[in-house]
Amino acid sequence: MATFTVAELRSMIVVNMGDYKTAKGEGKLMTKDLGSCVGVAVRDPQTGVGGLLHVMLPYHNAARMEKVSFAATKYADIGLEEMVRDLVKQGAGREHLVAKIAGAAHMIRNATIPESEDISSRNLMAVKEKLAELGIPLLASDVGEDFPRTVVFEPGNGTFRILTPGKAEKRI
């Protein structure tokens, strides 16, 4: 697995589970422990404005959540909408946005739930559906299998580093 210098670690903006952060240019966004969750990196290549969302759940159920406070950013559907609005406010061109994703690992096998219906598969499907609905092309992905991932996204140049214990670093 890749190692980071102290200076590199200090310069990274950490994205917690169920949240997103944005950066421009040389900024680096990192999220850890993507198991069944999906890390969604969206950027405008022309302005270098980008964001990283750590999706925990596929869909927000407004009827069920009316009386409960919630974090919109943990859901694929409304979290992506919120992040895209923020990116546009920061100068990203809506029509230029592109995406890369990682995660959606099948961390826990369950004989009664088919793999195609587990939370990781539903998260992945929701992310892909929302990106398509928003007209954001998916350029690359590293998803599935049965291991966790940490990702580092550099909006300025579009580098999306995938770090997995016991495996070589991957860049997509």
Residue recorded with tokens 């580092």: 152
**Could you tell me the domains of the chain?**
6-157 (3.30.1330.200)
Q: CB under 8 Å to 113, separation ≥6 — which residues?
A: none
- Identify residue 15 by its one-letter amino acid code: V
pLDDT string in tens for the chain (172-residue length): 466 777 777 789 999 999 999 999 889 999 998 999 999 999 999 999 999 999 999 988 754 545 555 577 889 999 999 999 999 999 999 999 999 999 999 887 766 666 667 899 999 999 999 999 999 999 999 999 999 999 999 999 999 999 998 899 999 9
136-154 burial, b at 16+ Cβ within 10 Å, e below that, comes to: beeeebbbeeeebbbbbbb
**What distances in angstroms separate CA 106 from CA 7, 22, 35, 121, 135, one per listed residue?**
34, 28, 7, 8, 27
Contact 19, 74 (CB under 8 A): yes
Tokens of 61: 């159920």
Number of other residues whose CB lies within 10 A of the CB of residue 51: 26
* pTM assigned to the model: 0.91
Q: What is the pLDDT of residue 62?
A: 56
